[in-house]
Amino acid sequence: MLIVPFSSAWHGRFVQAAARGCMLDWDVRCDTTAELVSEGLALVNNDACYGALVAAAQAVQGVRDAADGGAAPDGICVGLPMLCNRCRSIDEPFFVEGALSRCGYAGTKAVPLAGLLAGPDEIPYDAQRRVAASVVAADVLLQARLQADAQASGVERPGLVEALDGLGEEALRDLASREGFDFGRFLSRLDEAASRLAAAGAAGGPVVGIAGSAASVYNEGMNGDMAAVLRYEGCVVRLPYLASMTSFALRLQGVDAPFVEGLDVWCRAAGEACPRIPPAPDVDAIREKGRRYVPDQASRGLGCYIAGWATALLDEGVENVVVSGLFGCLTGHVSGAGILGAIRRDYPDANMAAVEFDSGTSVLNQVNRLKLLASVAWQKKKGAGT
């Protein structure tokens, strides 16, 4: 049995469904409750990477539930995505195994995702491809859902949201079935639903892009549901693709596996089939943009990707960008807040802010920073007369 601590509840349910359809004995863990964070703080050094702290608590929770269900501890393994490269996250297996040992599960090992994709006991080819398709499917649905949330209120919007949610539930059922997942059919139906985005009216608020590590961007329990805060302020939210981010990270780790190939292939297919939905960024283009601010030899974690995605947003005309980070994240400090000055020199009209999320503090300060950025974004939009 494989316990998989995961940074995104939205994507996690699609990955869980794909694993079930491939008969993989996986338990994808996405919970980030206050109680879980407290348990992580009790099991891991409080100055560790916030993401590692939460992954350790998720792993302990998963192994505990599996053992309570009758699984033998020595038959359980923890698979850690570990998308940050050459960063403090390399200690994540150590932290997770230490936490498991303190809870009486000393025989349970924690291994990086890279080893599961290309190691001696690698995941089968077809399973890797279906899991990759599940991540991209979750990505494009999320992009469409964000656009739908941003539409001006009207009679068509509720129907559009319902159509997208219904398509998501259908995709989950297909991913979990033994018959396989028809990705082309899914994209065709998504494009049909997305055609109503234009009919529902243009989004009224300023566009705000979010850049950061996977956990700081997607994990609502860790980032105070940052996207919801910005939507409440009337902003249109743009998130990166988890598939693109994952492909970027695994390539840097030297992983050449069907999973990585699948991520790239499905992202290109989605961009061609669904032109109304913002496409996944080209990984090589993102790397080149990121190198302008974070050279390869200085890059830690997802630093080059964060800089590249923020720059890609600005080049696209998205002038409002939040660079999010987590406590204890070297990337967040060096390649997040550290690059803002250099980017602002190249993009003087950019409205940017760095926001750090800490397990031991209130989210009020972060919310205030987001509100300030949103206020400036609205002022710029009104000043431009758009």
Q: How confident is the model at residue 200 (pLDDT cuts 50, 70, 90)?
A: very low
Q: What percent of the chain has pLDDT over 90?
A: 51
pLDDT for res 199: 44
Q: State pLDDT tens for residues 8-51.
A: 999 999 999 999 999 999 999 998 888 898 898 899 887 778 88
CA distance 99 to 151: 45
Mean pLDDT of 347-369: 85
pLDDT for res 360: 67
Q: State pLDDT tens for residues 248-304.
A: 988 888 888 999 999 999 999 999 999 989 999 999 999 999 988 887 666 666 778
Mean pLDDT of 197-212: 73
pLDDT for res 267: 96
CB within 8 Å of 123: residues ≥ 6 apart: 24, 116, 117, 131, 259
pLDDT for res 155: 47
Residue 75 has pLDDT above 80, yes or no: yes
Range of 82-91, 147-156, 185-194 with top mean pLDDT: 185-194
pLDDT for res 101: 93
pLDDT for res 221: 86
DSSP symbols for 227-295 = HHHHHHTTPEEE---HHHHHHHHHHHTT---HHHHHHHHHHHHHHHH-TTSPPPPPHHHHHHHHHTTS-
Indicate the average pLDDT of the chain. Answer: 87
pTM of the model: 0.92
> Half-sphere exposure of 276 toward its Cβ, with a 13 Å CA cutoff?
21
Q: How far is CA 122 from the centre of its chain?
A: 23
